[in-house]
Amino acid sequence: MRLENEDKQAIFEIVAARYFTTQSWKWVNLRKDINRIQKAYDELSEQYASYSYVSRDWYVENMGSKNIHMCNTWDELKNLVAFLNTHGSVFNFLVNTGNRKSFCIVSDSKDLSEVQANAIKEVQKLGYNTFVFLATVPDEIEFQLLQVRGVN
């Protein structure tokens, strides 16, 4: 059976997520969780609007959504959301290695598109590291379909 590109991409993401987990890194799959980051930002903005005597940084640091966006300050979160709104679809993961936060592209090629290269330049301006997780998956997967008959 021939694998489609979206099938390969899903396999790459599974392999990358497994690697991040074995390294004990915190990570967020941006393909699945980018809306959760935006929602956390919106909720934090609403909280601050209601209780503006508490600093925005305090909200960022203490809200339950910190594990989603991994930010420590309001400015960091605001810049992250603005970046994701512009370039979020380019990256697959936001990863915290413990030393630094990074954006990750999963691919089967070292060659980056112009869009990917530009997004990497922009995210590095924000102080994030970037890396490409390379994996190879065959174009075709062999399989067998076995019929198991029930007992009559």
Would you kindly state where each structural domain of the chain is located, as residue ranges?
5-134
Residue 120 has pLDDT above 90, yes or no: yes
Residue 138 has pLDDT above 80, yes or no: yes
Query: What is the arrangement of strands in the sheet containing 93-96, beginning at the earlier edge strand?
Result: 26-29, 93-96, 101-107, 129-134
Contact in structure between 1 and 140 (CB atoms under 8 Å): yes
Model pLDDT, residue 123: 94
Please give the Cα distance from 72 to 57 (Å, whole number).
7
Give the pTM.
0.86
Which of the two residues, 71 and 148, has the higher pLDDT score? 71
E-strand ranges in 1-100 read 26-29, 93-96
